[in-house]
Amino acid sequence: MKELQLKYGCNPNQKPSRIFMDAGELPIEVLSGKPGYINFMDALNSWQLVRALKEATGMPAAASFKHVSPAGAALGGTPLSELERRIYFAPEGLSPIASAYARARGADRLCSYGDWAALSDTCDADTARLLAREVSDGVIAPDYTPEALEILRAKRGGAYNAVKIDPDYSPAPTERRHIFGITFEQGYNDLRIDREMLTRNIVTKNRELPEQAQLDMLVALITLKYTQSNSVCYVKNGQTIGVGAGQQSRIHCTRLAGSKADIWRLRQHPYVLELPFIDGVRRADRDNAIDIYISEEHEDVLADGAWQKVFKTRPPVLTAEMKREWIAGAEGVTVGSDAFFPFGDNVERARRSGVQYIVQPGGSIRDDNVIETADKYGIVMSFTGVRLFHH
C-alpha cells in the first residue's frame, strides 16, 4: 500500500488528506480503527522515540503522546514497585512492556488523557488491558499478540486505533515539508544519543555520574529529541516525571516541567495515597480530583463541598507548607534541556524539584554563571555540545 486516505487533516476543513510514499510501500498497517492525520503524526513521532530508547538502553520502552509531544516516556527494565502500582493504579505482575506503558501514562495522567501510545516491543495482553481501560486514541507497535489484538479490537466497538509498523523501516536521508506552499528540506535527524555523549564533558566540580543517572540522562535526551521545542524534561528512575514542551523561553520550560515533576512527587504523599474515593468513580474524575486536591485552590473546593461527588468522606487538608516540605524531600532527579540554559535561574528552579544531575548542550555566553550555580548545590552537569530542537 503506497497511500492511505484520511478523513481530514489537522482540522475538519482541511481536505483532502492522506499519507503516502513517494516510492515503495507504507511501513505501517492499520489493524483496527481508522487513524486520522494527527493520530499518525503522534504515532510516527512516538515510535521514533521508543525505538531510540530501546536501541540506547536495551530495555523495552513506551511513550504516551499528545499533540506531537510526549506527556510521558519510560523504560520497563524493572517491575513496578508497590508504590508505583498505587500511584499509577496498575495491577501486579505486569510484563516489562506493560510496566513501561504504565509508567509513561502515569507520569502525567491529565495530559495523557486521550493519548496515543507507542511501544518498542510487541503489544501483549497485559499492555492491551491497560490501554483498554484508559481514554486513549490508539497505539503503535512492531507487532501484537492475538490476545492483545482481540482486546484492542473490542475497545470502542472496534473503532480503537491499532497500528503495526515495520521495525526495520528507515526513512530516506532527506526529509521535506511544505509551509505556506514553500518546500523546506533538511537531513533526517539520525543523531545517535549514547553514553559517551554524557561523560565526555562534565563541567562541574562534582563529576560522579552513577549508572542510574546516566540512564536517566539518556531518557531525558531521547525524549527531548522528539518533543516540540523549546523543551525541558525531568527524569527519575528511567521515566519522565515532567515534560515542558513548546515554550518560547527556557525558564518557562523549566518551570512547566518542574511543576509537573512536583505534581508527580505529590501524588506519592500519604494523604493522596489514602484519598477515600467513592466506589465506581470514573478514572478521569479520580485523576481530576487528585489534581485539584494537590493544587493550590483545593482548600476552597473542599470548603464548597464539591468533594462529596468523588470522596466518601471529607479528605484532610494538604496545606501549602506540607506540600513544600514534601517536594523538598525529592532527590536523585535528572533534568535535560534541548538547548543551553542561558541563565543560572534554570538550575535554581530545577534544584527545587530535587534535581541532582543536569544534561544540556552548553554554549551560552553565561555558561560560567550556570556552572557556578550548579556547583553551589553540588549538582553534576554534563555538556553534550548537541542541540535537539524539534519542530
Q: In tens digits, what is the pLDDT along the chain, a chain of 391 residues?
A: 889 999 999 999 999 999 999 888 999 999 999 999 999 999 999 999 999 999 999 999 999 999 999 999 999 989 999 999 999 999 999 999 999 999 999 999 999 999 999 999 999 999 999 999 999 999 999 999 999 999 999 999 999 999 999 999 999 999 999 999 999 999 999 999 999 999 999 999 999 999 999 999 999 999 999 999 999 999 999 999 999 999 999 999 999 999 999 999 999 999 999 999 999 888 888 998 899 898 866 666 666 677 788 888 888 888 889 999 999 999 999 999 999 999 999 999 999 999 999 999 999 999 999 999 999 999 999 999 999 999 9
The CATH number of 193-265+329-383 is 3.40.140.20
d(CA 53, CA 49): 6
For 264-298, b/e burial (b = at least 16 CB within 10 A) is bbbbebebbeebeeeeeeeeeebbebbebbbeeeb
Same fold, 3-169 and 193-265+329-383: yes
Q: What does the pLDDT read at residue 1?
A: 80
Q: Parse the chain into domains and list their residue ranges.
A: 3-169, 193-265+329-383, 270-317
Q: What pTM was estimated for this model as a whole?
A: 0.95
Is the Cβ–Cβ distance between 118 and 47 less than 8 Å? yes
Which grid cell sits at 170? 528507515
Instruction: Give the position of cell 467513592.
Output: 278
Q: What does the pLDDT read at residue 230?
A: 93
Q: What does the pLDDT read at residue 308?
A: 80
Which grid cell sits at 220? 531525558
Asked: is 3-169 a CATH 3.40.140.20 domain? The reply is yes
Q: What does the pLDDT read at residue 297?
A: 67
β-bridge pairing 115-119 and 61-66: antiparallel
d(CA 302, CA 317): 8
Q: What does the pLDDT read at residue 309?
A: 82
d(CA 81, CA 143): 27
Q: What does the pLDDT read at residue 303?
A: 67
Q: Which residues are catalytic?
A: 66-67, 230, 391
User: Given phi > 0 = left and psi -120 to 50 = alpha, else beta, which region is 213?
Assistant: alpha
In terms of Cα–Cα distance, which of 197, 173, 193, 195 is closest to 185? Answer: 173
Instruction: Provide the CA 134 distance to its chain's centre, in angstroms.
Output: 16
In terms of Cα–Cα distance, which of 261, 346, 368, 275 is closest to 317? Answer: 275
d(CA 202, CA 52): 23
